[in-house]
Structure 1
Amino acid sequence: MNIRFISTIATIGCILVFNSCATVGGFKPGKGNKYQYTYKLIYPAESQEMLYQDDSIIVQFKFDEAAIRFQLQNISDSYLEIRWDKAAIGVGGRFSPVRNSFNLYSDTAVQNSILLPSLGYIRDVAIPRDNIYFNGEDWIEVDLLPTEDHNSEQMREVILKNVGQRINFTLPMMFGSSEKIYEFEFQVDSVRQIPWRDYRHLPRIPQPPSPKRTFFGISDVSAAIITAGILGFSAYVLTMKKNPPTE
């Protein structure tokens, strides 16, 4: 099988699924009009800023097209561990296991976690497990909800009707030897059409690994685990007091 044929097949495959996919490594404008969603937290508390606090955690969320980004601070007196093997994202009632920054580009999807000490914090990302894959050339992410209409009036109506759509995020945590299951529910607050020139593609943290080229130019990709960094939204000023982080 020659290389040109492989490239052609990969291109056709990308076109077939382009209505809900985007490359991770770089920004490539899609076909048709672009739309942007705004979300709000509605459970276990209502918050336009998607900020939640109880006696154990302070957490704030931010959505991009394909993933839920968040910053979490442990304000309990115990070590905190996220049980990623039990975490799930639900869209329209359909729930899926998730990947996070430790296994975003792993073929095995092995879950990793850390022990977060009291007053420590992390920044991480969660994406449905099967919504990110390698197509032979690029890492592809599937949007949580469609963001491009491809000049289809029917798709435009589908996108605009997503106002009120709900997305769930189940995030079990261990505090010492005690488990607490957090159920977060978000709702699409609004959706608007934006010019492509105003669209800002947030880089994925960690960045996708660069494909290794063999002698014949065919990608040979291995798993890459990179320390998570800036999420692309305002950092919090975290003090040694058990107060909500402030900008």
Structure 2
Amino acid sequence: MSDSLIICVSDYWQRCHYHNRPNPEAGDAWPKSKPLRRLCIHVDAINGNYYLREFLHQHVLAESLRRNHGVQLVWLQFEEPQKDIIDYRFADMLAHTIWERIEVEHLMSWLSTLGGGFSALGEQFERCAKTAGKISLQQLKIGLRLGDPFLQTRCKLYYSISLIQRGQLRMAKHLIREQYQFASKNIEKDVRLMRMCLGIWRRLSYEYEQRRLRKGGN
């Protein structure tokens, strides 16, 4: 780290943000015998971000400045641009992402309503329980696409209800345990999710008890 080119960005309020700064805990230290040789660049903030990226990622450029010119510290003094620039391409990408998220949330609400209806009918009809399970798997695919772990956990719990209704208690047991461990050990604990796990676990325990009674009667 001590041989790396140090980059300092000074913002509008003269606050300094360092990159490639030596780490004292790793044995690196700022040289105290003489000041660092600087290359000071005054640039507007828009172009300054491109400068910063080049200095950080173009190792050949950094090495050339350090070896051929003795530069140890590049000081980027950001200045306010004369006029703001609208990034229309990024705005279009952001608008598309937001629109897609809204549509996905709308789809999830419909699937939840539909899955709830089939799940209620699944208490009497196994075919409806299977359909509810398929809907839960579709919701899980959406949760994976959104990258929402809590949504994925809820979908897995919905699927575990379908498994219980179809008599696949062992598979449902392992699935519920995994989701409860995630909900309880995660940094952002979801109390409602934990209560949901406990409620489905009670339903699972009831089914196990009913199965035991039926075997005892036979």
- Do both proteins adopt the same fold according to a TM-score greater than 0.5, normalized to the shorter chain? no
Normalised TM-score (structure 2): 0.23
Which of the pair has the greater relative contact order for Cα pairs under 8 Å at 6+ separation?
Answer: 1
| Higher relative strand content | 1
| Higher relative helix content | 2
